[in-house]
Amino acid sequence: MLTFGIMTLNRESENAYINELANRAESLEMEVFRFIPSDINPHDLQVKGVKFDSDTASWLECTIPIPTIIYDRCFYGEDEHSKQCLSIVTWLKSRKDITFLGYGLPNKWELYQTLKTTKLASYLPSTQAVPDVESILTELALKKKIILKPINGSQGYGIYYLKKNDKTIHVKTEKQKRIISRIFPNEAKLSQWLKLLLKQRDYLLQPYLELSNKDHKPFDIRILLQKNEQGVWGEQGRGIRIGTTGGILSNLAAGGNVINFKDWLISLPPAKAEYIQQELNYILTSLPSPLEHAFMPLFEIGIDIGIAKDGSIWILDINSKPGRKVLLSTNPELQESLYTKPLLYGKYLTENDQTERKVYYEKTLSH
């Protein structure tokens, strides 16, 4: 029986999703084993973890060889354990005897640098790396409203909105589902704060896009693409994420909620709805190929699309480890497909010779 390995940074991560997935493994003649990268013994290449027992629907402690098929669901932070696991995962990805469902994407800056040379360039907000405080002040004076995003950020964490008024500067972010605002009386005070911010992590700067709805709530479209059991890309579904009034994020982690995409679409004028559908379809069919050409093979992509008040459409974020809450909330009929797709694709990889896949893509390992 094929062992399907799921890798997380702790045993509690994504329990609901992983339990549902494990429940379906036996019917596909597979068993699910979950483990933490740091629990691999480097001497005998055995790993401690838990194996799903379908008879009791529970997880049992065991030690087995490193699975040859791995689904990477590690979300790294700035802590020491994350850094330790990241180096172990990089080593795992370099091994010829192990195949990952997907090899991840690099940081937001590398992604932007790659996609701006493709036919999707016009859908990308103008983006620049932030070398110093002065570059932020220059852009703020020029554009009046800007956004700062961590190069390695996820779930909207660490995103800041800056607005220059006549005499003051307004800075806004969202933490623990609350909007945090601060007014700086002058550039000198703002500079002091920005210096501390840039010491913590690297940032990108983008113009502020008016992506709120008629109720002044930020919103975007979350779309999930996945490969099927023949290795062919396809769309799983779409949902609309809506943030809080006056906020800057629509992420569920920031307190947003969701509505069904079709319900939202039929509320629009027919011509506008048709235009949005055509644009989205163009983006979705054009996106996977340049990503897999530039980086390593992928299994799934979460894409966040923003629609500005002027009708312009923007690719806001691309995530190689997307969640499923948006689709499960708005399209419950997709449940079975969402829980079996990783298993079916894992089976496809083991039943087909993946030598070319590994050799062709021996480039930059990304996470």
Report the pLDDT value the prediction gives residue 255, as an integer from 0 to 100.
Answer: 59
Confidence of residue 254 (pLDDT cuts 50, 70, 90): low
Confidence of residue 211 (pLDDT cuts 50, 70, 90): confident
Q: Model confidence over 17-56: pLDDT tens digits?
A: 999 999 999 999 999 999 999 999 989 999 999 999 999 9
Task: Please give the Cα distance from 247 to 242 (Å, whole number).
Answer: 10
Q: Model confidence over 329-359: pLDDT tens digits?
A: 999 999 999 999 999 999 999 988 665 455 5
Confidence of residue 124 (pLDDT cuts 50, 70, 90): very high
Helices 335-351, 15-23: crossing angle, 10 deg rounding: 70
Question: In the structure encoding, which two tokens stand for residue 284, read together?
Answer: 């979705």
Average pLDDT value for residue range 100-113 = 95
| Percent of the chain predicted with pLDDT > 90 | 77
Residues 199, 78 contacting (CB under 8 angstroms): no
Average pLDDT value for residue range 105-122 = 95
> Please, what is the Cα angle at 268 between 263 and 269, to 5 degrees?
140
The model carries a pTM of: 0.90
SS (H, E, C) the chain: CEEEEEECCCCCCCHHHHHHHHHCCHHHCEEEEEEEEEEECCCCCEEEEEEEECCCCEEEEEEEECCCEEEECCCCCCCHHHHHHHHHHHHHHCCCCCEECCCCCCCHHHHHHHHCCCCCHHHCCCCEECCCHHHHHHHHHHHCEEEEEECCCCCCCCCEEEEECCCCEEEEEEECCEEEEEEECCHHHHHHHHHHHHHHCCEEEEECCCCECCCCCEEEEEEEEEECCCCCEEEEEEEEEECCCCCCCCCHHHCCEEEEHHHHHHCCCHHHHHHHHHHHHHHHHHCHHHHHHHCCCCCEEEEEEEECCCCCEEEEEEECCCCCHHHHHHCHHHHHHHHHHHHHHHHHHHHCCCHHHHHHCCCCCCC
Confidence of residue 366 (pLDDT cuts 50, 70, 90): very low
**Residue 221 above 70 pLDDT?**
yes
Q: Model confidence over 306-334: pLDDT tens digits?
A: 998 888 999 999 999 999 999 999 999 99
Average pLDDT over the chain, rounded to an integer: 90
Report the pLDDT value the prediction gives residue 250, as an integer from 0 to 100.
Answer: 56
Average pLDDT value for residue range 168-172 = 94
